[in-house]
Chain A
Amino acid sequence: MKYVDEYRDVSLARPLVEELKKAVTKPLRIMEVCGSHTMAVFRNGLRTILPPGMELVSGPGCPVCVTSASHMDAFISMADRPGVRVAIFGDLFRVPGTKGSLAEASSRGAKVDIVYSPMDALDLAVKNPHELVVFLGVGFETTTPGIAATILTAHNTKVKNFTVFSTQKVMPAPMEALLSDPALKIDGLLCPGHVSSIIGAGTWEPLAKKYNLACVVSGFETADLLKSLILLARQVGNNDIKVENVYPRAVSWEGNLRAAKVVAEIFEPADMDWRGLGRIPASGLKIRDKYAEFDAEVRLDIKLPEAKEPKGCMCGNILKGMSTPRECPLFATRCTTANPIGPCMVSSEGTCAAYYKYGRDE
């Protein structure tokens, strides 16, 4: 944890706040792509000390927030089937579909286990040989290699009752979809550190060129974030647009090629539904036919139900950074962290939850 503490060191961070003030020479809007950045920004109270002219908006990088209601409904109806045990990451537990959540399914007797890694789900399968264990793959590149490796292990050890329902998503496909919307005015991206450690900082270069977008790959500590914001402001101020990497202790230009190889063995690109953004070509991953026996959608013959987004919920526009939660009439009235309506409120990384919990802009 030495790294972390060094970058969290206040004596390092304070002067950076001053430097940031100087760096902002013209108005700019920066999107933090990833949910962990959104949370880190709130934890540090960075928005409360941003220099005038600089604005931070939250993008589509929280995996739970971009899970479509139809996928949630499919998860829930699957959990309700007898003989099925569903394994999930904790965030998904309270996410509402159109009818209830996995938490509610669990309370009426569905088998829902919160796990910390896909390998735990495989263990569950081994321990419960008479049930079909379905791991719900909801995440980005950071979680995909682990899921791929787990499927390989299941294959090699001939576990027959383990499957994955993949709604795994990839970057930067949705960014492309977002940026092509002319209403969206973004000058730069705070690029995700964990995701980039897999896909490589170089992945952001085509976007930077095509949309004239300042891009900085950032870590998650206070000093990381401040340094990245300074570089973004300078790029925009000096009109010197490029991809910079201030997280070299974790991120290389090429990314993690070994992880990419495991992923490519198991998964192939597929169109994917995103909450708020709709269906985006080649923005998700499905399990290759060769490994179809591990594909829950195949094994359980799942047809995605048609689902509408929760009525009145503005998650879509919020993910695009075009609205703030306070513009949503349901915010903090009918929609709270105790009673979430849209997924942006459910996930601890969701924009609405962050506004609600940390009282942004108050």
Chain B
Amino acid sequence: MAEKTILLDHGSGGLASQQLISDLFLKYLDNKTLHSLEDSAILQNRRGRLAFTTDSYVVDPIFFPGGDIGKLAVHGTINDLAMRGATPYCLSLGLILEEGFALDELERIIISISEACREAGVPVVTGDTKVVPRGKGDKIFINTSGIGFVAKDIDISSKNAKEGDAVLLSGTMGDHGITIMTRRAGIAVQGDLQSDTMPLHNLVAALLAELPGDVHTLRDPTRGGVATTLNEVAAASGLTIELSDESLPIRPQVRAACELLGLEPLYLANEGKCLAIVSGNQAEKALAVMRATKEGKDAAIIGRLVAGRAGRVIVNTPVGGTRVVTPLHGMPLPRIC
């Protein structure tokens, strides 16, 4: 490729577009279905129920410790499928590029997407690219949609959470959110902060295989964090969720950065964590299953569902007090002192 940046021509549908497709997208993302470059991909029907989801990614910065916008776009959509108990099957990839975007950065992102797809075993089977004039976008926006298959008897939903169920979190809170916020702010923090972006479908598969029928709800606490997601679960199930402050897993450097910026880790985004709500008497087994996977090695039982006011999340504090955790409104803002 001669040019170093994205030109409006690359979105023209003409030769420049074709060149981008063959030199970049097919080079890294090729597979039998995508290769035909037809208007849509034809998929084998395995019968049974399908899960179908879509998500757009506009993260700034596009490269960050632990990942980049491409990886995020693959993992995010895979995780949305997995959270309904679906086995991810394939993805679509839509790119909106800003005129002038550096081609080598685009290549880095496409390589990252191809790695993420390969590791997860979920291919991109159809795609699209548009270029918008300089200033009308911000480097790169990505949309991915995903299709997954849901095995018979699997019924995972927020409203299935029951009184007495245990709440498990598959690892530490806030790693992604705090990494992005400190990057954006350009502040250096002691200890390295890293996004936790990773696919969770293997962890989910292990849970569903070991505890069929006892996994009631799976959610990935992305934007809004654990607090907001659990508020949604509490509302959908008509129950109160009680958490224990001391059991919430959090890396010391994340806690330190949160203290510095006046942020509450419960509200920070995660991109590789899953909340699992399972039958209370299966909590320890679920914990063991999670911890046996590499995605869930820091998993913890963080709380339980109890009768009480519907839609309420309470944290029991170490001194024996309680506080109520409400959902996040708007974006988390750092405070002054």
Contacts and interface: CB of A to CB of B under 8 A. Distances in A.
Contact of A91 (B185, B322, B323, B336): B336
A1 B252 contact: yes
Given A89-B336, A138-B336, A348-B333, A42 B262 contact: no
Interface in B237-289: 246, 252, 255-256, 259, 261-262
A313 B16 CA distance: 60
Interface residues of A, number: 50
B108 to A, nearest CB: 26
B322 to A, nearest CB: 5
A45 B337 contact: no
A94 B259 contact: no
Interface in B303-337: 315-326, 329-330, 333-337
B177 to A, nearest CB: 14
Interface string B168-202: 00000000000000000111000000000000000
A14 B319 contact: yes
Contact of B319 (A89, A91, A226, A348): A226
A132 B169 CA distance: 47
Interface in B182-233: 185-187
Most chain B CB atoms below 10 A, which of A8, A90, A143: A90
B323 A139 contact: no
A90 B321 contact: no
Contacts of B337: 34-36, 63, 139-140, 142-143, 194, 349
Nearest to A4: B259
Contacts of B330: 94, 338
A44 interface: yes
Contacts of A114: 185, 333-334
Contacts of B324: 357-359, 362
A356 interface: yes
Contacts of A63: 336-337
Interface stretch (A46-54, A150-158, A173-181, A256-264): A46-54
Contact of A46 (B252, B321, B333): B321
Contacts of A13: 318-319
B246 to A, nearest CB: 7
Given A10-B319, A13-B319, A17-B319, A91 B329 contact: no
Contact of A143 (B255, B315, B321, B336): B336
Given A4-B259, A94-B333, A116-B334, A10 B326 contact: no
A358 B264 CA distance: 13
Contacts of B262: 348
Interface in B288-302: none
Given A357-B324, A358-B324, A89 B256 contact: no
Contact of B329 (A8, A10, A17, A338): A338
Contact of B186 (A90, A120, A348): A120
A258 B278 CA distance: 57
A43 B319 CA distance: 11
A160 to B, nearest CB: 23
A222 interface: yes
B268 to A, nearest CB: 14
A90 B252 contact: no
Contact of B322 (A45, A115, A357): A45
Contacts of A90: 333-335
A48 B186 CA distance: 39
Contact of B321 (A48, A120, A348, A359): A48
B25 to A, nearest CB: 35
A112 to B, nearest CB: 12
Contacts of B336: 63-64, 89, 91-92, 138-139, 143, 347, 349
Most chain A CB atoms below 10 A, which of B186, B246, B256, B262: B262
A91 B335 contact: yes
A253 interface: no
B333 A44 contact: no
A256 to B, nearest CB: 15
A358 B186 CA distance: 31
B321 A116 contact: no
A49 B319 CA distance: 8
Given A1-B252, A337-B326, A356-B326, A91 B334 contact: yes
Contacts of A1: 252, 255-256, 259
B329 A45 contact: no
Contacts of A34: 337
Contacts of B261: 116
A138 B187 CA distance: 21
B335 A45 contact: no
B326 A357 contact: yes
Interface in A90-130: 90-94, 114-116, 120
A49 B320 contact: yes
Contacts of B259: 1, 4
A43 B323 contact: yes
25 contacts: A1-B259, A10-B246, A14-B318, A35-B337, A36-B337, A43-B323, A44-B317, A44-B321, A45-B320, A45-B321, A45-B323, A46-B321, A47-B321, A48-B321, A49-B321, A63-B336, A90-B333, A91-B334, A115-B185, A116-B261, A142-B337, A336-B329, A338-B329, A349-B337, A357-B326
- List 3 tightest A-B contacts by C-beta distance, closest first: A45-B321, A359-B324, A90-B333
Given A13-B318, A17-B320, A48-B321, 12 more contacts: A14-B319, A36-B337, A45-B323, A46-B321, A92-B336, A116-B185, A194-B337, A336-B329, A349-B336, A357-B324, A358-B324, A358-B325
